[in-house]
Structures are given as C-alpha cells and as structure tokens.
Amino acid sequence: MMQPRKLHAAFLYSIVNHLSSNSARPFCSLFSTVSLPTPDSKDRTFLINYLNANFKFSNSRSIYISKHISASNFPQKPLSVLKFFKQIGFSEAQVQSMIHRTPQVLFSNVDKTLRPKIKFFQLLGLEGSELCWFISMHSTILTCSLKKSLAPSVEAMRKIVCNEKDLIRVLHKYGRILLSYKRLVGNIAYLESCGIVGSQLTMLFKQLPRLFTISEYSVRSYVLRALDMGFHENSKMLVHALYTISCLSYKTFSRKLELIQCFGFSKNESLQMFKRFPPLLRASEKKLKVGIEFFLHTVMLPKPLLVLRPVVLMYSFEGRVCPRYRVWLLLK
C-alpha cells in the first residue's frame, strides 16, 4: 500500500496536471487514477458541508475532494489552510475566489509552504488588504517554488524597475509574471541584445509585463516584423514599434493601416506614418477616422504634412484640436 504522503503527492500531481491542461474532462474525473484511504464518514460529511457552504462548490465536487484526501491529513490540513487565510485578513469572498481559482491551495502545508510565501510578499511591501487582494487574484503563485521561481523572478525584476513602487505596480498589473522566471530572464536578455536597454526596457516592462512571459519565439517574431517594416536594432524607435505590434493582433494592425489608406494614402505612406509615430496604431479606429477626416477635410491639411506629423492624430480632439482650431479661425 502506498504511504499517505506519497498518496497525497499523487493527488496533488493529478490536480496540477488537470488544471494546466486544456482537457474538457470534468474536475471530478481527475481523481479516477488515484486510490486513497477513505476518511471517517463524519469527517467527510463535515468537510463536504463546509466546502458547499463557504465556497459554493457543487455537491459532487465537494464529495470527490473529500473522498480523495488521505486519512493522515483529513480534515486538519484543509481546515488549517482556511483558518490561516482568515487569520491574516482574507474576507470570505477572497478565500472563495482563491479556492475556486486554485483548489490545490487547500492541501498546502501552512508552516512550510504558505506562511513563508506570505512573509515574502509582506517584505516586498504588500500588506493588509492589498496583500489579501493580490493573493486572491493571483492565487496560482502560491503553488510555485519560493526559491526556484518567486524569489529569482523578483530579483530579475528589480534589475529593470527603478524602485519598489514600480515593482509593486507591475505585480498588480500582471502577477502571473512571477510564474515564468526562465522566460522572464530569457526575454530580458534577448531584448537587451536588440538594443532595448535602460529606460526603454523599463518603460516596456512597466507598460507591457505580459510581453516578458510569452515564449522567446513570439518575442522574436514581433521584433522581426518591426525590422521588416524598416525599424532598426539599437534604434530608439524599435521599442515603441515592438510595444504597438505586440499589443495588436495581426488582423487589427492591418485593418488600421487599411483605414488610413481609405483616405487616399498609399500603403507606403501609411507605413511611414507608423514609423514616424508607432503609438499611432494604438489609437482606436474611431479616433483615427475622426482625426484624419478633420485634418484633411476641415483644416484642409495637405496629405504630405499629415504623413510627416502623424502625432497630431493622437491629440485630444475635444480638449485640444478643436479649441485651437477655433482660435486660429478667429485670428485668421
């Protein structure tokens, strides 16, 4: 017979595999390959009722969870986890959200696993309600190794951001970055090799941390698209082009270029506008359309001037462009 600890490890392994896969199998089916000792029926009934009442699990889900916890840690471990989170200030809603996102947290060791990780985030500056919100929204980080993933990721981030406040802002924006240490350092190294360093790398990291967690192949493909459009490595504009290209799908990017061409601009002219001011295509299609129509048909601005100064299409229409145009008309 398998030892309780090995049984529990097998159970967790099956949960992690299920959650990380795209399988359409129901949650309860992941227990079919793990045979564990059945806990006392009173204990099992107690936990079923607790899960149903506090986390709104379906009855079948709660039953399967309760049936496949080894007798050595039932029901003490799940209940000690719930007690721990409530003691540090988690609301019922936050605990419920966390357990629904990452049910394997219920079977973590409080003293060896959860408490050190919570302490780690407190030392970063996350405390009180802010800490509870962050953990409940990014509960998968509690399943990562503190030494192999969380701590190394934070150290890598500290080399890019200017201060701890910026670090916290990035974590709030995209907490999942802590799960991808190898991709994080790999993408940082690749971007630096392209000449995106210092303040440019910091800007990109703060504005688009998701870019640092995708595969290096994807990052390279974005850079190659920028190079194909005429940007150059080690140029100051490459980072802005990369930001825009990675924010938009290929279809959306092409559609916005076509929108510009609908006003009589050539394909080359629309690309020139993007090269001179890469953030241009991050504007909404409505803003682009209104701006181009106004400058071409109302102001009667020659197209070559708009190609040279596409930044004017990004100005606030109601707050800047129209008022100044009215003043210009009065002066005229």
**Domain end position, chosen among 247, 279, 299:** 247
Asked whether residue 184 falls in the same domain as residue 93, the answer is no
Region 2-24: mean pLDDT is 40
Residue 16 included in any domain: yes
Give residue 75's pLDDT: 57
Region 172-190: mean pLDDT is 94
Region 31-46: mean pLDDT is 54
Region 175-192: mean pLDDT is 95
SS3 label, residue 282: helix
Residue 326 included in any domain: yes
Residue 178 included in any domain: yes
Give residue 44's pLDDT: 75
pLDDT at residue 70 greater than cutoff 70: no
Can you list the positions of beta strands (E) in the chain?
Answer: none
Give residue 54's pLDDT: 67
State percent of the chain over pLDDT 90: 63
Q: Is 237 exposed, middle or buried (0-12, 13-18, 19+ CB in 10 A)?
A: middle
pLDDT at residue 31 greater than cutoff 90: no
Residue with tokens 């007690």: 83
Range of the domain at 291: 252-332
Asked whether residue 176 falls in the same domain as residue 218, the answer is yes
Asked whether residue 162 falls in the same domain as residue 236, the answer is yes
Asked whether residue 69 falls in the same domain as residue 92, the answer is no
Residue 323 included in any domain: yes
Q: How confident is the model at residue 20 (pLDDT cuts 50, 70, 90)?
A: very low
Report helix angle 41-55 to 76-87, nearest 10.
30
**Domain end position, chosen among 247, 279, 301:** 247
Residue 124 included in any domain: yes
CA-to-CA distance for 40 and 38, rounded, in angstroms? Answer: 7
Q: How confident is the model at residue 72 (pLDDT cuts 50, 70, 90)?
A: low
Give residue 76's pLDDT: 67
The sign of the torsion formed by the CA atoms of 170, 171, 174, 179 equals: positive
Cα 5 vs. chain centroid, distance in angstroms? 34
Region 183-203: mean pLDDT is 96
CA-to-CA distance for 184 and 213, rounded, in angstroms? Answer: 6
pTM: 0.77
Which of 68, 66, 73 shows the shortest CA–CA distance to 46?
Answer: 66
Residue 79 included in any domain: no
Asked whether residue 172 falls in the same domain as residue 239, the answer is yes
Residue 137 included in any domain: yes
**Domain end position, chosen among 125, 143, 161:** 143
Task: Calculate the alpha carbon distances from 223 to 8, 198, 273 in Å.
Answer: 45, 18, 19
Asked whether residue 154 falls in the same domain as residue 239, the answer is yes
Asked whether residue 68 falls in the same domain as residue 130, the answer is no
pLDDT at residue 36 greater than cutoff 50: no
Residue 180 included in any domain: yes
Please give the tally of structural domains in the chain.
Answer: 4
